[in-house]
Chains A and B, each alone.
Chain A
């Protein structure tokens, strides 16, 4: 199993540009989560999906952020337009339906907006 795969690993973009982060969950996992990690705020849950349906997006900071999961093997997190304060490491994680198994995390995407 290749684990949760995120791309790109690093992204540097200019303020105002659109950024798209990608995630491939573990096959058979039906829950997918997007987290953001910063020094100031730690790990914040942005949004999560169950069976490709968004369940809770209350953590999405602004309308500039959007996430989709068109099928069980792919999800995107888009920021448009990007701002310097969006600079962070964005993690994707997946799990089976039972939260008791814990989550498997990807290696993250380090986003820098200049």
Chain B
């Protein structure tokens, strides 16, 4: 079975600073990996995904993530934080096979201060 671990339930950065949200996964077969963002009182919005091919993937709002198979990681980064990035971020994994569903990490709340 697959699982996702997000290190740090809360990350605080200053506006303009680097954002790094950590995600590690476990999976018996090559997984598909996702990052979602949730703003207060809203549903989840897809930020970016890795399925196959290039291991560095770019998403919306300037975010990117790199799939590192050797480290079983899929960390999310953004070079310069903006106040509007404050939200909760979820890493998720799904196996590339029928009959499976997305499994989410516990989430990381990102705070951005001016």
Contact = CB atoms under 8 A, between A and B. Distances in A.
Interface stretch (B21-29, B43-51, B77-85): B43-51
Interface string A48-83: 101000011000000000000000000000000000
A100 B96 contact: yes
A91 B100 contact: no
B70 interface: no
B46 A102 contact: yes
Interface in B72-114: 90, 94-96, 99-107
A31 B103 CA distance: 15
A107 B43 contact: yes
B102 A103 contact: yes
A91 B44 contact: yes
The residue in B32, B36, B43 that gathers the most chain A C-beta atoms within 10 A of its C-beta is B43
A42 B107 contact: yes
B49 A56 contact: no
A25 interface: no
Contact of A42 (B34, B36, B46, B105): B105
Contact of A45 (B34, B51, B101): B101
Interface in B21-77: 32, 34, 36, 42-46, 49, 51
Interface residues of A, number: 21
A48 B105 contact: no
B90 A43 contact: yes
A56 B45 CA distance: 24
Given A42-B106, A45-B101, A45-B102, A100 B45 contact: no
B46 A43 contact: no
B104 A108 contact: no
A105 B43 contact: yes
Interface of A: 4, 33, 35, 42-43, 45, 48, 50, 55-56, 91, 93, 99-100, 102-108
